[in-house]
Structure 1
């Protein structure tokens, strides 16, 4: 009996001791304190909105946790949508053959001349680009389509189908190689360029012959 009483007294002394109290009253971490403060604020917020309903701090904490999770999910969804939109805009921009207003100001003859200069130095990739722009601006000059720096090749293709349906497919095929050469990793070799140039010049010549026959 004496041992039991002595053990009880020792246990009481331990529980009342400074070291146990200090351990029991160990301060919260910054995050824990922040969460407790946030729960207290949210609990007060809910009680102000629903004064007739008694909301405990534990209950408000559960609601707050749910709100935080939903908010995080919505933010992640928003970020995903924004990234997709940015990537889509980049993809659309890549199909815009005219990258600046200066290129739009050039005549098709100027683009042909630039293509010939680049061809002379074996820069077939860049020469291909100017060949296509020459064709595009020739069609623009004939008002078969309207060239704008914000338009894509596929918009030009749709416009061309309305007035020159038999040439639209040829334009489409030339636009494909233009995209591969300008924005892809395709290396344009000399023979491929010369075939491309021949097809572009033929379309321009056919357009000029068509205009002559009308006169």
Structure 2
């Protein structure tokens, strides 16, 4: 107990020493100087943009602080979306939607039928996968792209945009969600899946082969 009390007293003496206090004051001073420079820079910027703004007024301080906070939050949000988009695009470059020759050999009608079975069971991850593969193989059948098990969705997007840029853009958004669900462990909800299905079926429901195969049209 005495040892603990003695150690505490020694620590307090160290903290009171001039060298420590000087270091603390210097660090605090650097932060204050930096903060003042930031506020001065924003004040000058606002004065240039809005001549009626008076940096020396009593309301200027809170206004500057509010603007700085908003800008920091905005930069954080922008950085988040940039990071997320880069991650999504990397998935398009890295992952291959067709994982086996068995998936490749299925017809798009069979993948579509399989998707509907999983959807009826509430298995939206598998329903998304088979619906996307149905769309991919439908494009292959139409010769808008060439499906291969070694190709990535980015390569399919690049092929499709040579046929129709609008279709390619729609495919790009579907492919990003497909990759997030399949490889990014995104737990797709029914609302997302229904929107995914609506977009994909804009192509597939126009196919006569669907009726011939007996797949339900919704």
TM interval, shorter chain, is 0.5 to 0.7
1:38-53 mapped onto 2 (5 Å cutoff): none
Alpha-carbon RMSD across the aligned residues, in angstroms, is: 2.0
**Aligned in 2, Cα 1:124/1:94: closer, same or farther, shift over 3 Å?**
farther
Structure 1 runs, 4 residues or longer, greater than 6 Å off: none
Secondary structure, counterpart of 1:197 in structure 2: helix
Secondary structure, counterpart of 1:163 in structure 2: coil
Which residue of 1 is the match for residue 171 of structure 2?
A: 171
Please give the per-residue CA displacement for 1:51-89, whole angstroms capped at 9, x wherever unaligned: xxxxxxxxxxxxxxxxxxxxxxxxxxxxxxxxxxxxxxx
Which residue of 2 is the match for residue 22 of structure 1?
A: none
Please give the per-residue CA displacement for 1:180-208, whole angstroms capped at 9, x wherever unaligned: 00011211111111111111001223577
1:191 aligns with 2:191: yes
* 2:160 and 2:167 in contact (8 A); partners too: yes
1:124-135 mapped onto 2 (5 Å cutoff): 124-135=124-135
Separation of aligned partners in 1, 2:116 and 2:92: 29
Secondary structure, counterpart of 1:154 in structure 2: helix
Gap runs ≥5 in structure 1? 1-90, 209-215
Please give the per-residue CA displacement for 1:4-47, whole angstroms capped at 9, x wherever unaligned: xxxxxxxxxxxxxxxxxxxxxxxxxxxxxxxxxxxxxxxxxxxx
Using the TM superposition, give the Cα deviation of residue 95 of structure 1 relative to its aligned residue in structure 2, in angstroms: 1.4
Separation of aligned partners in 1, 2:186 and 2:92: 19
TM-score, normalising length: structure 2? 0.51
**Aligned in 2, Cα 1:189/1:156: closer, same or farther, shift over 3 Å?**
same
Which residue of 2 is the match for residue 162 of structure 1?
A: 162
Q: Which has the higher contact order (CA 8 A, sep 6+)?
A: 2
Which residue of 1 is the match for residue 150 of structure 2?
A: 150
TM-score, normalising length: structure 1? 0.52
Separation of aligned partners in 1, 2:102 and 2:149: 10
**Aligned in 2, Cα 1:142/1:204: closer, same or farther, shift over 3 Å?**
same
Equivalences, count: 119
1:102 aligns with 2:98: no
1:35-74 mapped onto 2 (5 Å cutoff): none
* 1:125 and 1:187 in contact (8 A); partners too: yes
